[in-house]
Every structure is written in structure tokens, then in C-alpha cells.
């Protein structure tokens, strides 16, 4: 049988492709070998990879291999067994191929890691080879299985309580997965953990589970949003009071909030801004100058809510100042102008030192010693005990940043669905056509710059207190480039995509510090691969996908159906 899928409507749904007799037993044998090998010792040296040297006591990486094997067994049972009804909806074969390939690579890298860390393959115990053989057997089985003709997943519905339960299980898996990954201090273990998560995600995408989950999320948007924030809220309680991990989490939230603001400018309005970090810096400098630091240069210390508004408004004003004269140009010219603005801001902060200009920023020394935030009687620098768990200062800032990012997401979502958002999208698609249709192109461009700058200024005021210092070196062009990369990598015009892109670009450099010399090379390689294989981003809207895959007729039909559903809802 050909490996090319036919349309679901092309043949009767009862037609079942033949299965090679040896394929299914081989896959089950592979699952058994992976699980059996995971209960045996993988390494002679117990000091590496968080100790995989004890028989019948699986370590963390061994448990991950067992989970992958169980998932493979589920897909095999969907191919032939009690779960075949599920197999008519989900593409078990493609998922099994992805899972088999990822698990084989996972086990091969574990063998490499053990040999590198302990000076030789002689230190790899038989359990690792048994699991590697099992993974290879699963992969071979997957390529022997034929592809199925599937039903339309948009019509796959479960009772409402079951779908809500699926959302809860998915969110719980995200919470515990993130907690486990951040708890890994060994670089090899972290890389292998990332490979495992990538394998599972790709397998779920190939089977169609993610597509089905997307339909479920559309039907239960409020539940999904609430579940996501509940997971984010409980995240600090999984870290055992670790300030290191919570520091990374707060940096991710600041970066994500700023990137969503940039997403308005780039993702919706289509304006390439290479100096966006200046708006974050302006909010941070306002908060520093109005703080009670001994190095603050303004003798006025208003309450923090007032500082937040002032910092955001100053950033928005800068957005108007840079936008008004420059937004009459576009494309490469606009990118050059905004790049220049970012550098002007940084150099201005150097020169406002009381010698070359007014004493506002202390020049290259910046403003250190910024005190902890205090709102009412709550000091964000104090430790608190909740349900017997210690929450440090970074946890306090984390909860404040959750409120901020909820506000930023709300603003972005409302604007995206509004008449203003449609105007921005029209400008992004074809500025001349939008202007011919009566869209106020210049006004909407300036508004995009101002709102994006306002949101970045909000994040900057909190960042100043969390970092306890500001200096010009924090706001260099490279930071603007990373913000733009988060938007492009995640998916322009989407919220979930930008959050994912910001998390990847902030988390990986922190956890993979031994790659510090090659960080930019790896970052560039990642972007090149993305532009080659998924130019629309990791999480892209269907309309954005269609721009890059015009030949995909099924996607075009799905986009049209989505448009009709939205119109009917209105």
C-alpha cells in the first residue's frame, strides 16, 4: 500500500489496510525490552546522569524511557487491540514512527553521555543496551506498519466532562514536566529531558492528539485559560524554595510580557522594530529614578502603582516620538531607523550622568541598590511560608508578574479581535490596499508603537526592582534581537506561540551555560532550521500557516470553516 494518505472522504471508513504479521509482535517486544532494560542498571558510575547504576530502582531518565515505552504500547493497541476505535481517529503509525525515532536517539545519546562522562563505553551497563535494542525494534515495527485512513478529528467529540478532564491532565503533565526539567542541574540530563519532551510532543502532533486538543480548547476556551493560569500559579510550589529556578521563571515572564508587546508591532501590524528593548529600559529607568535607592536622582518617591503608570506612559511617549517621524517609511528603512533608536537610547543613558548631560541615570554606573517592592504592608523581599513550603523573593515577584502577563494577554487578545486589530492585519498584509480601503494607516501604525511601548514599560518597572539595579549595558541590540526572535520562533500574531518562544530563548541559555561560547551559533542554527521547516512558527494560527502553505487544500478548507464558525458566533 502507498504511504500517501487519501482524503477521509475518498473511501468508506470501514476499509482497513492489511498489517504485516511480524510488525505488531515486534513492536510489543520492543516495548518489553525498553521497560525491562530501564529496570536494570545503565551505568557503572553512579555519580553521572543522576545515578542510573541501581538495578530495579529506575532513575529519572529511566522513568522517562518507561513513559515513552508505555506511550508506544498505547499506539500499538490503537493499531491492533482494545483501542482500535481510537486508532480510526488518530494516526498511530506516524506517532509510533516519531516515538520510535526519538526514543532510539534518546537511548543512543544516553550511551554517548555515559561513555563521555565516565571515560569509555566499558562503563555502560547492559541495561542501556537492552533498552536501546528495544527502542530500535519499536522504530522498525513502526516502519513496517501501513498508514491508516482516518476520520476528521474536528468531529471527534467526547462528553464535556471528559474533555475538561483531558485539559486538566494535559495541564498537570505540563506542570510536573516543567518542574522536573528545571530541577535538573546536570547539563546532559537536561538535554536528554528536552529530547524526551520533544519526542513526545512530535509524536502527539503526528498522531493528531494535539489537533484534537486544539479543537477541545476551542470548545472550552475559558476552562483552558483558567487551567493554564492555575498551573502557572502552582508552579512555585513545585520548586522546593529554589531561588535559582524561580529567578529563571521571573525572567521568562518579563521577557514574555515584553515579547507580547512587540508582537503587536511585528505580529499584528507587520512593523519590523529592532530597537524595542529601549521601551523596556525606559520603564526600568523611570522606576529606578523614582525609587528610594541611595543612587536615585529624583527626590520624589510615589507609590509603586503610580510609578508603574508613569513608567508605562514615558515608554508610550517614546513610542510616539520615534513612531511619528519614522513610520512614513517601511521595510528595511524602518528596521534601520528603529535599530538606531535603540542605540540612541543606550547612549543617552550613558550620557545623562551630570557631566555630559543632566544627572538622571548616573551614566555607565547606572542606578544600583534599588530596594525591594513594597505594596501596602507586603514586602516582596521577605520569605513567606504557605502550606509548609518556603516562597522566596523571586516567588513573590513571580506572582506579581503573573498578574502583569494576564493583563498584557488580555490587552493583546482584545485588540486582536477588535476593529483596530483587523486594521493592523490589513496593514501587515498589504499597506497600499488597506489605505485604499480607507484604513488610517499612519494612525494605526503609531498606535501600535505606542501600545507596544506601553506594555514594555509596564514590564520594565517591575524588572528594575527585581534586578535591584539598572545600567545601560542591560539594554543592548542583542536583547532586541532575542525579543524579535521569540516572536518569530513562537509564531507571529499568537499568544501561546510567543509565550513558548520566550520560554525557549530564556530558559535554554540559563540551563545550558556550558554552551555559552556557542550560544549564538546554536541560536542562529535554530532559526535557520525554523525558517526551513516551519516558517510560520512553532504555534501559528491557521491563517498564518496558509500564507506559507498555500498548496495545502485541507488547511484552506479548515481556515474557511473557522471563518464561518466565527461569523456564526457573531
- The model's pLDDT over 199-222, given as tens digits with 9 standing for 90+, comes to 999 999 899 888 888 888 888 888
Judged on CB neighbours under 10 Å (0-12, 13-18, 19+), 21 is exposed
- Tell me, what's the pLDDT at 138? 94
Residue 544's pLDDT band, with cuts at 50, 70 and 90, is low
Does residue 70 carry a pLDDT above 90? Answer: yes
- Tell me, what's the pLDDT at 15? 43
Rounded Cα–Cα distance for residues 94 and 78 (Å): 12
Could you tell me which residue, 508 or 258, shows the higher pLDDT? Answer: 258
Does residue 98 carry a pLDDT above 90? Answer: yes
Q: Report the phi/psi class of residue 541: left, alpha or beta, with left for phi > 0 and alpha for psi in -120 to 50.
A: beta
Rounded Cα–Cα distance for residues 33 and 5 (Å): 31
Q: Which H helix or E strand runs over 47?
A: none
Does residue 548 carry a pLDDT above 70? Answer: no
* pLDDT winner (highest mean) among 150-159, 274-283, 488-497, 549-558: 274-283
Report residue 378 as a C-alpha cell.
Answer: 507586603
Model confidence over 307-327: pLDDT tens digits? 999 999 999 999 988 888 877
Residue-by-residue DSSP string for 168-185: HHHHHHHHHHHHHHHT--
Under 8 Å between Cβ of 182 and 239: yes
Could you tell me which residue, 451 or 558, shows the higher pLDDT? Answer: 451
- Tell me, what's the pLDDT at 238? 85
Structural domains in the chain, CATH included, are 23-235 (no CATH), 239-539 (1.10.3470)
Report residue 144 as a C-alpha cell.
Answer: 513496517
Q: Report the phi/psi class of residue 296: left, alpha or beta, with left for phi > 0 and alpha for psi in -120 to 50.
A: beta
Judged on CB neighbours under 10 Å (0-12, 13-18, 19+), 385 is exposed
Mean of the pLDDT values across residues 343-370?
89
In whole numbers, what is the pLDDT of the chain averaged over residues? Answer: 84
Mean of the pLDDT values across residues 150-166?
81
Residue-by-residue DSSP string for 107-171: HHHHHHHHHHHTTSGGGB-HHHHHHHHHHHHHHHHHHHSPPPP---GGG----HHHHHHHHHHHH
Question: Phi and psi at residue 386, in whole multiples of 5°?
Answer: -125, 120
Under 8 Å between Cβ of 150 and 8: yes
To the nearest 10 degrees (0 to 180), the angle between helices 495-511 and 393-417 is: 150
- Tell me, what's the pLDDT at 158? 82
| Distance (Å) of CA 35 to CA 30, 53, 54, 132, 166 | 9, 16, 15, 11, 26
Does residue 568 carry a pLDDT above 80? Answer: no
- CB under 8 Å to 85, separation ≥6 — which residues? none
Mean of the pLDDT values across residues 229-243?
84
Residue 557's pLDDT band, with cuts at 50, 70 and 90, is low
Report residue 446 as a C-alpha cell.
Answer: 503609531
Under 8 Å between Cβ of 268 and 493: yes
Mean of the pLDDT values across residues 45-61?
89
- CB under 8 Å to 531, separation ≥6 — which residues? none
**Whose grid coordinates read 502603582?**
305
Residue 8's pLDDT band, with cuts at 50, 70 and 90, is very low
Of 62-66, 200-204, 493-497, 535-539, least confident by mean pLDDT is 535-539
Rounded Cα–Cα distance for residues 512 and 268 (Å): 33
Q: Which of 289, 348, 351, 293 is nearest to 321 (CA)?
A: 348
**Whose grid coordinates read 506601553?**
454
pLDDT over 70 for what percent of the chain? 90
Give ∠ CA 191-195-199 in degrees, rounded to 5. 170
Residue 4's pLDDT band, with cuts at 50, 70 and 90, is very low
**Partners of 359 in the β-ladder:** 353
Question: Phi and psi at residue 447, in whole multiples of 5°?
Answer: -65, -40
- Tell me, what's the pLDDT at 519? 67
- Tell me, what's the pLDDT at 510? 78
Report residue 478 as a C-alpha cell.
Answer: 542583542
Under 8 Å between Cβ of 483 and 259: yes
Total residues found in the chain within this entry? 570
pTM higher than 0.75 for the full model? yes
To the nearest 10 degrees (0 to 180), the angle between helices 187-207 and 60-79 is: 10
Amino acid at each position: 500500500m502507498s504511504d500517501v494518505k487519501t482524503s477521509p472522504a475518498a473511501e468508506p471508513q470501514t476499509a482497513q489496510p492489511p498489517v504485516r504479521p511480524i510488525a505488531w509482535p515486534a513492536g510489543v517486544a520492543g516495548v518489553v525490552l525498553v521497560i525491562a532494560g530501564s529496570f536494570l542498571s545503565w551505568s557503572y558510575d553512579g555519580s553521572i546522569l543522576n545515578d542510573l547504576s541501581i538495578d530495579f530502582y529506575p532513575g529519572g531518565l529511566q522513568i522517562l524511557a518507561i513513559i515513552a515505552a508505555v506511550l508506544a504500547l498505547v499506539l500499538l493497541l490503537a493499531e491492533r487491540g482494545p483501542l482500535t476505535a481510537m486508532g480510526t481517529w488518530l494516526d498511530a503509525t506516524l506517532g509510533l514512527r516519531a516515538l520510535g525515532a526519538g526514543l532510539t536517539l534518546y537511548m543512543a545519546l544516553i550511551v554517548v553521555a555515559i561513555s563521555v562522562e565516565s571515560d569509555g563505553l566499558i562503563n555502560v551497563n547492559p541495561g542501556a543496551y537492552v533498552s536501546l535494542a528495544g527502542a530500535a525494534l519499536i522504530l522498525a515495527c513502526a516502519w513496517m506498519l501501513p498508514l491508516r485512513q482516518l476520520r476528521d478529528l474536528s468531529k471527534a467529540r467526547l462528553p464535556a466532562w471528559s474533555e475538561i478532564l483531558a485539559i486538566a491532565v494535559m495541564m498537570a503533565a505540563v506542570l510536573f514536566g516543567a518542574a522536573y526539567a528545571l530541577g535538573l542541574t546536570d547539563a546532559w540530563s537536561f538535554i536528554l529531558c528536552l529530547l524526551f519532551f520533544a519526542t513526545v510532543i512530535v509524536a502527539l502532533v503526528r498522531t493528531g492528539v494535539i489537533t484534537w486538543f486544539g479543537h477541545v480548547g476551542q470548545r472550552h476556551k475559558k476552562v483552558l485559560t483558567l487551567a493554564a493560569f492555575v498551573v502557572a500559579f502552582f508552579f512555585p510550589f513545585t520548586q522546593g524554595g529554589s531561588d535559582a529556578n524561580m529567578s529563571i521563571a521571573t525572567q521568562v515572564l518579563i521577557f514574555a510580557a515584553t515579547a507580547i508587546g512587540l508582537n503587536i508591532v511585528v505580529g499584528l501590524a507587520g512593523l519590523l522594530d529592532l530597537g524595542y528593548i529601549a521601551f523596556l529600559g525606559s520603564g526600568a529607568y523611570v522606576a529606578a529614578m523614582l525609587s528610594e535607592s541611595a543612587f536615585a536622582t529624583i527626590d520624589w518617591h510615589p507609590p509603586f502603582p503610580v510609578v508603574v503608570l508613569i513608567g508605562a506612559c514615558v515608554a508610550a511617549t517614546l513610542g510616539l516620538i520615534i513612531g511619528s517621524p519614522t513610520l512614513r517609511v517601511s521595510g528595511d528603512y524602518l528596521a534601520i531607523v528603529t535599530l538606531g533608536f535603540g542605540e540612541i537610547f543606550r547612549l543617552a543613558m550613558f550620557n545623562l550622568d551630570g557631566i555630559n548631560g543632566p544627572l538622571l541615570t548616573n551614566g555607565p554606573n547606572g542606578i544600583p541598590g534599588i530596594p525591594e517592592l513594597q505594596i501596602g504592608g507586603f514586602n516582596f523581599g521577605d520569605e513567606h511560608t504557605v502550606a509548609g513550603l518556603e516562597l522566596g523573593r523571586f516567588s513573590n515577584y513571580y506572582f506579581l508578574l503573573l498578574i502583569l502577563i494576564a493583563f498584557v494577554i488580555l490587552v493583546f487578545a482584545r485588540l486582536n479581535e477588535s476593529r483596530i486589530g483587523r486594521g493592523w492585519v490589513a496593514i501587515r498584509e498589504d499597506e497600499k490596499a488597506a489605505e485604499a480601503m480607507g484604513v488610517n494607516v499612519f494612525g494605526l501604525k503609531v498606535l501600535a508603537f505606542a501600545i507596544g511601548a506601553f506594555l514594555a514599560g509596564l514590564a520594565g518597572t517591575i524588572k528594575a526592582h527585581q534586578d535591584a539595579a539598572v545600567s545601560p549595558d542591560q539594554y543592548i541590540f542583542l536583547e532586541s534581537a532575542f525579543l524579535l526572535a521569540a516572536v518569530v520562533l513562537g509564531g507571529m500574531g499568537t499568544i501561546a506561540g510567543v509565550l513558548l518562544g520566550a520560554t525557549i530563548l530564556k530558559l535554554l541559555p540559563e540551563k545550558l551555560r556550558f554552551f555559552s561560547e556557542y550560544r549564538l551559533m546554536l541560536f542562529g542554527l535554530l532559526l535557520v532550521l525554523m525558517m526551513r521547516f516551519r516558517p510560520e512558527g512553532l504555534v501559528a494560527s491557521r491563517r498564518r500557516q496558509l500564507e506559507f502553505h498555500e498548496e495545502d487544500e485541507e488547511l484552506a478548507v479548515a481556515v474557511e470553516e473557522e471563518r464561518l464558525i466565527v461569523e456564526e458566533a457573531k
